[in-house]
Structure 1
Amino acid sequence: MRAKLFTSGIPYQYCWRVTATLPSLSFALFIFLQPALPRSLAAQELATQNTEIMQQLQRYETQLENYEFEYGFLDPRLLEPLLSIESLYESLADFEKVKSTQNRRLQVTRTTLGLTHPDTIPMVEALVRTDMRLANWEQVSDHLEHLRTLAVANHGIDSEEAMLAQDRQASWFMTRVYVDDDRERTKNFMKARKIFRDLLITAESKYAEDDLRLVPWLNKRAYSLYLLFAGLNADSSVTTNWIRETAQRDGPARLETSRARGFNSPFAVGGFNQVIPVTEGDEPIGVAYLRQANGFINDIAEIAEANADAEMAAMARLYHGDYAYLQGRSVGRQDYREAKTMLREVGVDEARLDAFFNRPVIIPFPNFFARFSELEAYQRQNVSGQLLAETELSEDSDAWDQPIHLGSFRAWERGLASVPMPTSADGLLALETPIHSIDAKFRVTGSGRVSGVEVLAIEPEDKRARRRAVRAIRKLQFRPALFGSRTRSRAHVELRYQITDESEH
């Protein structure tokens, strides 16, 4: 039997013209119901699996009751059936029951081995994962504090294990900025900032002043100050709370303009419990925090010099240029030129330098790379993307006119739409949220600003998300492309902009 499909004027589901003998009614019904058969079979299979799981649960719960009667409620022999029960509840996605069982296992283990025994650590980490699934953000914070106390108890208050546990806490508070209630996001960031400050104090007391192990903590402190600065200038409802919390914690002096200090009051009255920083001209709010951040980059440069590491010193000069450029200081360009010269002197060939400096890059980098090859690898990893726009170029066009893709940019949250989301390498805190992905094309000027934003694609389609993405992309700050010793604009630049889809959040 053959069939032809035609579509003129009537719905396609009624448009089959049969050119052979008509099938029997039962066969036609079989054909019609075919798509429903897999769904029906899948539902039956799922019901069978659930029945089997419930039967297994009943057996393990009976075993648990027998053990409790024979050995008591806190005997370690209860751990085996409890673990099996936990696994079965997880397969049913009943995470409240999973959590209850995990708490019971932790209670038995602590009673048997002691409150701070290392074997309790994976159990607390399991509770972190479960409460993240349940969106119990405050309880996740409590578990991470528990893990920090366990690290201190087992390794010492200034141990690297304790420091890493604190770093994990700071990363989580950064995550809570976009998953928690709006009124809590500024407080969560301030908690993270305090942890980074405390971590640097611990590191400086633990290591010698020229110890390379100080470098990541110095950079984390510098980057946290950039995030504070970015929040102060977010041009959204976030900014008001960011300013108020910063002024309460640090005083108003850091928020005043550097050009008119001593002439203007740093604040103007802005209503009940509100203050508005007064700045000079187009100077952003809180530039003093970027200057402080650059002080920590200078510390990294001094460590590089003390260790006779010329390549690391060149990288520090590059980072110094980024923070200076964010302040609107022309010294940033000079830093870039000097960094390029220093890298050339340590043996980096011109082709690699041109490939790196000819591309605009969003600044600053969250991680400090002591080796140029590490930064190249990071750039390659993050700039992979397929060009979407069709660009017509003449045969003799300048190489600078070639379209380039800068990879993806993940925004922190809607109120911080031009601020990169802080990331953590800690898999324990991995959290996936629905996102809008917007592919855009634009021009990066010689000053690192964005113009001419054009949306190429958006998934899922949302007019409001499209408009917000265009506004956010315009505010991104790039290190401009460097042509020889001067900066130069680049057209035909593409980027995938991503932000949490709050309609499903």
Structure 2
Amino acid sequence: MRLIRLPSIAAAFALMWSPGGFAASDEEWLERMQVQENLLEELQSTRGPTDLSLVEPLQAMIVLLRERSEYGRVAELQEHQLELMRINYGPESVELIPLLKEMVLNGVEAGDREGVSDFLQQMRVLNSVQGDPVAHLEAIELQAYWYKTGGAGQTHKQRVVSFFDAHELVDELEILLDDVFDAGDPSIVPWLYRVYMNRYLLLGLLNSDREVRAIAREELVWREGSDALWAIGRSTGGTNASSTAGRWGGGRFIPEAQETVEKITEVMETAGDLEAQAMATIYEADFHLLMNWASAWRKYDEARELLREAGVPEERISLFFSRPQQIPYSRFHPTLEEAIARQEADLSRWRPAGEDAAHVAEFTAWSESVPNVRFPDSDHVFWNEASSYYEAELDININSVGFVPHVDVLEFEPENNEVRYRLRRAAEDLRFRPIMEDNRRRRMHDVHIRVLIPRDGTEMVEVE
């Protein structure tokens, strides 16, 4: 490896200010940067250009550059660190993973979508050879989440293509699950639920507005061949069965989603955990309700009986079913108390101005392109997105089978007719588990909900 002489960063910053124009903090920053540059050059000369000791002054320079939000410079120095660590630890060393995470965070802050995608791919490859299968699953899930969110791009075409990249990764993850977990091991359930939610996103994509739906069908055929058109079936548009004459377009993906959620119930039954089996049955019933299948109500009855057999107090069961709930849930809760706690946390996150107004949890859409599907969730993401949203407060009715037949826009910013239509469409396509009391399903009128739709071109920031 040749001796690397980096251009003086301190000198470059000094040119940004006129002579005599430095604040004390600027002068101090330049002095600190110069110290690290001198140390780096000295170590290169005395220990050689590949010595691992060079990582330390490079890291000190990175810290200083982050103070100035100089993400491009940070990326250059991180690449230098990565090269040094590959030479000293080996190209497949686990020691590279923390640095790659730092490179992901810098790329997120810089808005470098391609760079972040590349670093996550490198993390996935490294984790695949480390002998830790769960870490490998987490790396796959992280990369898939990125493609569905921050790395999705801004156009309809980019978002669809990125989703199918994620979809292929989740298919890979599903194949690995049976090798990682023993039969009947409840640890597999959160992973199965991620597979299920990915299929929910796919169904939402195939039932979105006409333009996005056409792009999704074209992309699926390109990836899987012309037989995929038959597999999709007749797509009618809209995820709400009230707007699709009771049908979802989705072909084979509907039974695949059903099989996944039923497998969760089977795992919990094998484990002998009655309460977890009951919760899995509720999730299974929610899927039947999304499909507008009458069998949903029988499944809910089965779940209540299992909860009673598990010794769950009747008042807690009644409380859970006394609240209208958007479905599907973003994650699996193995106990009723966890699900109730999530209900209460979601309800407390936003309240309408009127103290007596009934309300449900706010809904954040996946994107402008697919406003009728909930934004994806992940347990393993280590970055966050500070998104800019179109926001509305709506008044809705929820009928006795969980559809939204009526929507009034109460507050909306900005005033834009196209976005107003998307917000209304998102609310009309929501599906709820209705209130169920004394074996009767209740409709609700004048329920307030806040709907958020991410604008394209979000600003990405690191999680604190």
- Specify the SS of the correspondent of 1:154: coil
Quote the residue 1:297 is aligned against. 261
Quote the residue 2:103 is aligned against. 127
Provide the C-alpha distance between the structure 1 equivalents of 2:99 and 2:49, rounded to a whole number of angstroms: 18
Q: Any residues of structure 2 matched to 1:132-147 within 5 Å, and which?
A: 132-147=108-123
Indicate conservation of the 8 Å contact 1:177/1:189, yes or no. Answer: no
Quote the residue 1:332 is aligned against. 296
Amino acid at match of 1:307: A
Shift of 1:101: 0.9
Please identify, of 222-231 and 467-476, the stretch whose mean Cα deviation from structure 2 is larger: 467-476
Provide the C-alpha distance between the structure 1 equivalents of 2:46 and 2:304, rounded to a whole number of angstroms: 74
Quote the residue 2:126 is aligned against. 150
1:406 aligns with 2:360: yes
Amino acid at match of 2:140: Q
Amino acid at match of 1:328: N
Quote the residue 1:170 is aligned against. 144
Shift of 1:300: 1.7
Indicate conservation of the 8 Å contact 1:389/1:456, yes or no. Answer: no
The structure whose Rg is larger is 1
Are residues 67 and 405 of structure 1, via their aligned partners in 2, closer, same or farther at CA, if it must alter by over 3 Å?
same
Quote the residue 1:84 is aligned against. 60
- Specify the SS of the correspondent of 1:222: helix
Higher relative contact order (CA 8 A, sep 6+): 2
Provide the C-alpha distance between the structure 1 equivalents of 2:422 and 2:23, rounded to a whole number of angstroms: 45
Amino acid at match of 2:144: A
Cα deviations by residue, 1:268-325 (Å, 9 ceiling, x for unpaired): xxxxxxxxxxx99552211542332121222122222222221122112111111111
Indicate conservation of the 8 Å contact 2:246/2:291, yes or no. Answer: no
- Specify the SS of the correspondent of 2:366: strand
Indicate conservation of the 8 Å contact 1:436/1:501, yes or no. Answer: yes
Indicate conservation of the 8 Å contact 1:237/1:415, yes or no. Answer: no
Amino acid at match of 1:90: R
* 1:345 pairs with one of 277, 291, 309: 309
1:107 aligns with 2:83: yes
Provide the C-alpha distance between the structure 2 equivalents of 1:503 and 1:176, rounded to a whole number of angstroms: 9
* 1:187 pairs with one of 133, 154, 161: 161
Quote the residue 1:451 is aligned against. 405
Are residues 472 and 353 of structure 1, via their aligned partners in 2, closer, same or farther at CA, if it must alter by over 3 Å?
same
Cα deviations by residue, 1:330-370 (Å, 9 ceiling, x for unpaired): 11122122212221232222222222112211111132222
Count of paired positions: 431
Shift of 1:444: 0.8
Provide the C-alpha distance between the structure 1 equivalents of 2:457 and 2:124, rounded to a whole number of angstroms: 35
Amino acid at match of 1:187: V
Quote the residue 2:182 is aligned against. 208
Shift of 1:90: 0.8
Quote the residue 1:246 is aligned against. 220
Amino acid at match of 1:483: E
Structure 2 unaligned segments of length 5 or more: list them.
Answer: 1-19, 237-242, 460-464
Cα deviations by residue, 1:88-110 (Å, 9 ceiling, x for unpaired): 11111111001111111121222
Are residues 455 and 59 of structure 1, via their aligned partners in 2, closer, same or farther at CA, if it must alter by over 3 Å?
same
Structure 1 unaligned segments of length 5 or more: list them.
Answer: 1-43, 258-265, 268-278, 392-401
Quote the residue 1:33 is aligned against. none
Please identify, of 494-503 and 375-384, the stretch whose mean Cα deviation from structure 2 is larger: 494-503
Amino acid at match of 1:191: D
Q: What is the Cα-based RMSD across aligned positions, in Å? A: 2.6
Cα deviations by residue, 1:73-124 (Å, 9 ceiling, x for unpaired): 2222222221111111111111100111111112122222222222221111
Are residues 424 and 504 of structure 1, via their aligned partners in 2, closer, same or farther at CA, if it must alter by over 3 Å?
closer
- Specify the SS of the correspondent of 1:311: helix
Provide the C-alpha distance between the structure 1 equivalents of 2:293 and 2:249, rounded to a whole number of angstroms: 15
Indicate conservation of the 8 Å contact 1:231/1:416, yes or no. Answer: yes
- Specify the SS of the correspondent of 2:373: strand
Using the size of structure 2 for normalisation, the TM-score is 0.86
Provide the C-alpha distance between the structure 2 equivalents of 1:351 and 1:435, rounded to a whole number of angstroms: 38
Indicate conservation of the 8 Å contact 2:186/2:267, yes or no. Answer: yes
Indicate conservation of the 8 Å contact 2:388/2:458, yes or no. Answer: yes
Cα deviations by residue, 1:23-74 (Å, 9 ceiling, x for unpaired): xxxxxxxxxxxxxxxxxxxxx9994423321232223212222222222222
Provide the C-alpha distance between the structure 1 equivalents of 2:335 and 2:143, rounded to a whole number of angstroms: 28
Shift of 1:178: 4.6
Quote the residue 1:21 is aligned against. none
Provide the C-alpha distance between the structure 2 equivalents of 1:354 and 1:459, rounded to a whole number of angstroms: 37
Quote the residue 2:233 is aligned against. 256
Are residues 48 and 239 of structure 1, via their aligned partners in 2, closer, same or farther at CA, if it must alter by over 3 Å?
farther
Shift of 1:385: 4.3
1:480 aligns with 2:434: yes
Are residues 46 and 214 of structure 1, via their aligned partners in 2, closer, same or farther at CA, if it must alter by over 3 Å?
farther
Are residues 62 and 503 of structure 1, via their aligned partners in 2, closer, same or farther at CA, if it must alter by over 3 Å?
closer
Indicate conservation of the 8 Å contact 2:152/2:163, yes or no. Answer: no
1:430 aligns with 2:430: no
Quote the residue 1:96 is aligned against. 72
Shift of 1:180: 4.4
Indicate conservation of the 8 Å contact 1:403/1:491, yes or no. Answer: no
Amino acid at match of 2:127: A
Using the size of structure 1 for normalisation, the TM-score is 0.79
Provide the C-alpha distance between the structure 1 equivalents of 2:346 and 2:21, rounded to a whole number of angstroms: 42
Cα deviations by residue, 1:418-447 (Å, 9 ceiling, x for unpaired): 111102233423222222332222111112
Provide the C-alpha distance between the structure 2 equivalents of 1:310 and 1:326, rounded to a whole number of angstroms: 24
Indicate conservation of the 8 Å contact 1:90/1:98, yes or no. Answer: yes
